[in-house]
Amino acid sequence: MHILVSNDDGYNAKGLEVLVESLRGLGEITVVAPEINHSGASNSLTLSRPLAVRQAPNGFIYVNGTPSDCVHIAMTGLLDHRPDLVISGINNGANMGDDTLYSGTVAAAAEGFLFGIPSIAFSLVERGWKHIDSAAHHARLIVEHQLNNPINQQCLLNVNFPDLPIDRIKGIRTTRLGKRHPSQPVIPTSTPAGETVYWIGPAGHAMDAADGTDFDAIEHGFVSVTPLRLDLTHQDQLSSIESWIGPICSK
């Protein structure tokens, strides 16, 4: 088995190193990750300049581009053969609810999914790596299960781990995405030249954390596994939009 691993925190992130170590023995592992942190990069591809590909002393390959760049380059020219699984993470912080739209971690997995390969994004919900070993333990369980019992359809899974030791995690739940409140206000500051600049504010708190959501599972000490899809078509609005646009279709 061949596993392609990427992330959005950068090739020297602790979450990536611990994840790769936890996957040893499951097959051939190739790491292609960003040179620097690209949190919040979403699914962006770098089209305005060429990308450099280098190799670190530990064997990890790194690219001076986004998470999507890394997987895209790996899939379209860097690898000698297609991987059986694409893994992204372990991210330093949650990717739940609306976070998935911005997440570079999810984007790296989504790029593998676009190439028709089963893909999984892993995130530890609290920053600081306090219980990264617990997250890596459960990540291996999920990856090993996928390799031994492949999902019989194309899949993109978004997995979040509660920041708890192994013996306090209650299990694994299949969930839907919850929803956050709007982001908190921007944070203004000044440059040495007196120009006002802004930091993007923190993410909002959970607005939909009902039973069955990723927020609810994490709150109760469970690993959250959410299947995602990339078809953004609002199916329920197709007929109403068709009626709305009808009067001008012949103009």
Q: DSSP for 137-206?
A: HHHHHHHHHHHHS--SS--EEEEEE-S--GGG--EEEE-B--EEPPPPPPEEEE-TT--EEEEPPPPPPE
Angle between helices 132-148 and 14-22 (to 10 degrees): 40
| 168-202 residue pLDDT tens | 999 999 999 998 878 788 899 999 999 999 988 77
Band (pLDDT 50/70/90 cuts) for residue 146 is very high
- In 3D space, the residue among 216, 212, 95, 67 whose CA is nearest the CA of residue 157 turns out to be 95
Structure confidence at residue 251 (pLDDT):
61
Tokens of 72: 């895209």
What is the SS3 assignment for 134? helix
Q: Please name the residue that has the structure tokens 């995130």.
A: 123
The whole model's pTM is what?
0.91
* Residue of higher predicted confidence among 169 and 152: 169
pLDDT of residue 96: 93
| pLDDT score, position 207 | 65
State the Cα–Cα distance between residues 122 and 224, nearest whole angstrom.
Answer: 10
State how far the Cα of 39 lies from the Cα of 66, in Å rounded to an integer: 9
Q: Is 243 annotated as a binding residue?
A: no
**78: three-class secondary structure by DSSP:** helix
- Determine whether the annotation assigns residue 8 to a binding site: yes
The response to whether 250 counts as a known ligand-binding position is no
Q: Tens digits of per-residue pLDDT, 68-123?
A: 999 999 999 999 999 999 999 999 999 999 889 999 999 999 999 999 999 999 99
Dihedral sign for Cα 210, 211, 212, 215, please. positive
- Domain boundaries, given as residue ranges, for the chain: 1-179+205-246
| Confidence at 205, pLDDT banded by 50, 70, 90 | confident
Is 148 annotated to bind a ligand? Reply is no
Tell me the two tokens of residue 33. 């990750």
Spatial distance between the Cα atoms of 227 and 210, rounded to a whole number of angstroms: 17
Residue 144 has pLDDT above 90, yes or no: yes
CATH architecture of 1-179+205-246: 3-Layer(aba) Sandwich (3.40)
